[in-house]
Amino acid sequence: MTTYININGDVRDAASLTVPTDRTFRGAWSFNGDAVDVDMTAALAIQKDKLRAERKPRLDALDVEYMKALEAGTGADVIAAQKATLRNITDDARLAAATTPDELKAMDLATLLGE
């Protein structure tokens, strides 16, 4: 049985290619001669989307805490700062500095927040 790899309509026999073993950034694959490479710009976009999904429950919880703090009249500024940190996580310079898919993959929310 022959296995094919289709990247944006360009279909090739997988047996003739060097293919990454990690499929985390499968959506960022591109053909490069006899190899399949990870386009780091596209991989960065994928990782940012993962971070957005990962931070959403935290932001939702902080929204509730923020409203409670507003009602109590104290602590809203601290929660607002936490929310800003989470919102800005996709702009963290360490993401753009990653030069390999493994480095980029290691940049999950907990790592970027130092948890």
d(CA 72, CA 3): 61
Number of structural domains in the chain: 2
Structural domain range at position 23: 4-38
pLDDT digits (tens, 9 = 90+) for 70-97: 999 999 999 999 999 999 999 999 999 9
113: pLDDT confidence band, cut at 50, 70 and 90? very high
Judge if 24 and 57 occupy the same domain: no
Judge if 20 and 68 occupy the same domain: no
Judge if 60 and 34 occupy the same domain: no
* Structure letter (DSSP) for residue 17: S
What local confidence, expressed as pLDDT, does residue 66 receive? 97
Judge if 59 and 24 occupy the same domain: no
What local confidence, expressed as pLDDT, does residue 50 receive? 98
What local confidence, expressed as pLDDT, does residue 41 receive? 97
Contact 48, 90 (CB under 8 A): yes
Judge if 34 and 51 occupy the same domain: no
Judge if 33 and 51 occupy the same domain: no
Judge if 53 and 72 occupy the same domain: yes
17: pLDDT confidence band, cut at 50, 70 and 90? very high
Judge if 56 and 93 occupy the same domain: yes
pLDDT digits (tens, 9 = 90+) for 94-109: 999 999 999 999 999 9
What DSSP letter does each residue of 74-112 carry, written as one string?
SSHHHHHHHHHHHHGGGG-HHHHH--SHHHHHT--HHHH
Judge if 28 and 54 occupy the same domain: no
What local confidence, expressed as pLDDT, does residue 28 receive? 97
What local confidence, expressed as pLDDT, does residue 93 receive? 97
With a CB cutoff of 8 Å and minimum separation 6, the contacts of 66 are 76, 79, 80, 83
Task: Tell me the average pLDDT of the chain.
Answer: 96
